[in-house]
Amino acid sequence: MNPNEDVVLLGLRQRKNGAITEENEEIQRTTKDREVGNENKALLEEHEDTLNEEMGSVFKGTVLGDDLTTLAQNAAFKAENVVRKMIEAGWSVCHFHHLPKWLQDNDYLLFGHRPPLPSFDACFKSIFRLHTETGNIWTHMLGCLVFIGIATCFHLRPHLDVQLPDKMVFGVYFIGAIICLGFSTLFHTVNCHSEVIGRIFLKLDYCGIVFLIVGSYVPWLYFVFYCHFKPKLVYVTMMCTLGLMSLMVSLWDRFSETDWRPFRAGVFTTFALSGIIPTIHFGLLEGWLNAIFQKSLFWLLLASFLYITGTTLYALRVPERFYPGKFDIWLHSHQIFHVFVIGGALVHYLGLSEMAMHRLTLSQCSSVFS
């Protein structure tokens, strides 16, 4: 090969390399990992031939006078496909420090992270693989299916059992729970797709929590203030307004940043605790020893205890902060938080059912417009 050809080839390689630099960086990060090592190295070698062929065609094209830019673009496009297929087929879990910044969330989980998987297909296939998100995905996916099952059975009951308006407020609760668990499942499945997709689904995940809180309070207020129309209207409006405000905060970009974890936990906890106001109001209105009040309070406190415990563990990142690297796959704080959320949601459903049954045994309200 004469020296001029060398210069041309070098120039071409530089142009081509520039076009695929980003993808190559992703591969390099992945290949540094302890588990990825051999597997991805083999894939790199396998696809290196393809890349060299593309280089060769660009060089030939130049000699034959083809349009250099078109050839370089074609080569870059093909190289991109090769790299994408390689990542999809050969990815393995990686160390926290090998993740790009936008995927670094919990530095107490050391190994077992998914690398970026820039295709929805690969993200959904990862549901069936073992990594830090497996438990998060499955807990809320199964929880979501359980609530779809409960909602279906509940709404197939004959009308004699439960009145239509009662069924409708239960519907509000089921929708809130299913949206929350469904959005959470989706977020944990696709958050490694790309920074933009991860951010969008993270916001949806937060919105789901707001739907669950609003969906929990609306039927609770409906049964507690069954015969008190005005306070019921005021508190339902208050909850919906707070829900709307929380939705707006959730959609704010800074809210989803890692450093804002305690603030996030604080916003949702404050929103959830705002139910203390109607609770005190009802105690003063009907008496602290009122049967439905005591029933509703017991279930509400139990559900709140589960939610708050889960949220506190999530905010403090317990237990992994005490044993970094020991809870990478199972039993880390986010998974425990998910289980507590499902427990809280089921307890709340039991509470609502008992309140509804209690209402059925009482006589009609003398006036619901007080």
- Residue ranges of the annotated binding site for Zn(2+) are 188, 334, 338
C-beta of residue 165 within 8 angstroms of C-beta of residue 223: no
How many residues touch Zn ion (CB under 5 A)? 1
The smaller minimum CB distance to Zn ion, of residues 293 and 327, is found at 327
Distance, in Å, from the CA atom of 257 to the CA atom of 205, rounded to the nearest integer, reads: 14
* Cβ at position 139, least distance to Zn ion in Å: 9
Q: Which is nearer to Zn ion, 209 or 218 (CB)?
A: 209
Residue number with CB closer to Zn ion (126 or 184): 184
Question: Least Å distance between CB 205 and Zn ion?
Answer: 6
Give the span between the Cα atoms of 307 and 209, in whole angstroms: 11
- C-beta of 11: minimal distance to Zn ion in Å? 49
Do 121 and 88 form a contact (C-beta atoms < 8 A)? Answer: yes
- Rounded CA-CA distance 102/95 in Å is 14
Q: How far is the CB of 338 from Zn ion (least distance, A)?
A: 6
* Residue-level length of the chain: 370
Q: Which residues pair with 94 in a beta bridge?
A: 113
Question: What character string, x for contact with Zn ion (CB under 5 A) and - otherwise, covers 68-107?
Answer: ----------------------------------------
> 30 vs 184, which CB is nearer to Zn ion?
184
CB of 188 to Zn ion, least distance (A): 6
The pattern of x and - marking residues 179 through 218 that bind Zn ion according to CB under 5 A reads -----x----------------------------------
Name the DSSP class of 116: P
User: What 3-state DSSP class applies to 113?
Assistant: strand
Pick 184 or 189: Cβ nearer Zn ion: 184
2 C-beta neighbours (distance < 10 Å), count: 6
Q: What share of the chain is helix, strand, coil (3-state, %, to 5)?
A: 75, 0, 25
Binding window for Zn ion (CB under 5 A); candidates: 65-73, 125-133, 178-186, 303-311 = 178-186
User: Nearer Cβ to Zn ion, position 184 or 246?
Assistant: 184
- How far apart CA 47 and CA 51 sit, in angstroms, is 6
DSSP state letters, 143-172: HHHHHHHHHHHHHTS-TTTS-HHHHHHHHH
Residues 242-301 that bind Zn ion (CB under 5 A): none
Taking the complex as a whole, how short is the minimal distance between the CB of residue 269 and Zn ion, in angstroms?
16
- Residue 277 CA from chain centroid, whole number: 30
Chain residues in the site for Zn ion (CB under 5 A): 184
